[in-house]
């Protein structure tokens, strides 16, 4: 995979925002799969950390630092956004016919509170599901699209086409 094919990622943490590049293991892979975990057999805790390259770290005190590589514990990630909706969708971004079973989901505008952030965007559910059903799914991260993120800490705003929100970090959610 060429460097230009490696998707950009923005990780929102409690005390910093990390911007860099993430390597997706397969061409069909999605950011959501990397965050929610892949089936691997060795070593046991390899899937606990996310490797980010070409990193800029913005601390909440307005300082910035750069480094070539950082490993982030997935449990500490509040949200992970991409600069392209296609890097989140993987093979789902390909036009029909899709080479796998595809289930159409309905976009629902939602507002989510995550510690010092307010998030507005679309979550997706099946026609018979309620938001609570989506939250009860086994995945650790909730996918959203067309997202507006506001930081109460430093009054900054980000717009991202795709965002994965750590369900364990959600304080509240409503349609």
Cα 21 from Cα 12, distance rounded (Å): 14
Predicted pLDDT at 41 = 45
Predicted pLDDT at 48 = 85
Predicted pLDDT at 92 = 47
Least Cα distance to 20 among 77, 81, 79 occurs for 81
Predicted pLDDT at 25 = 66
Q: What radius of gyration, in Å, describes the C-alpha atoms of the chain?
A: 16
Place of tokens 């925002």: 17
**pTM for the whole thing?**
0.80
Predicted pLDDT at 99 = 57
Predicted pLDDT at 137 = 82
Fold for 3-90+103-174, please state it. Answer: SH3 type barrels. (2.30.30)
pLDDT beneath 70: ranges in the chain: 1-7, 25-29, 38-46, 84-103
52-100 pLDDT tens trace: 999 999 998 889 999 999 999 999 999 999 876 554 454 444 555 555 5
Predicted pLDDT at 106 = 80
Place of tokens 């460097």: 3
Predicted pLDDT at 85 = 56
Predicted pLDDT at 118 = 96
Cα 86 from Cα 162, distance rounded (Å): 9
């Amino acid at each position: 995979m060429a460097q230009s094919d490696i998707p950009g990622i923005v990780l929102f943490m409690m005390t910093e925002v990390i911007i860099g590049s993430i390597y997706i293991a397969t061409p069909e892979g999605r950011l959501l799969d990397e965050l929610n975990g892949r089936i691997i057999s060795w070593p046991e805790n390899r899937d606990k950390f996310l490797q980010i390259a070409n990193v800029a770290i913005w601390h909440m005190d307005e300082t910035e630092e750069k480094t070539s590589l950082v490993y982030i514990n997935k449990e500490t990630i509040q949200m992970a956004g991409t600069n392209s909706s296609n890097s989140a969708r993987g093979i789902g971004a390909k036009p029909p016919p899709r080479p796998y079973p595809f289930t159409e989901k309905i976009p629902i505008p939602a507002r989510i509170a995550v510690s010092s952030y307010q998030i507005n965007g679309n979550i997706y559910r099946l026609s018979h599901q309620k938001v609570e059903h989506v939250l009860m799914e086994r995945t650790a991260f909730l996918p959203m699209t067309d997202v507006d993120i506001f930081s109460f800490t430093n009054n900054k705003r980000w717009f991202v086409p795709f965002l994965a929100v750590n369900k364990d970090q959600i304080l509240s959610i409503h349609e």
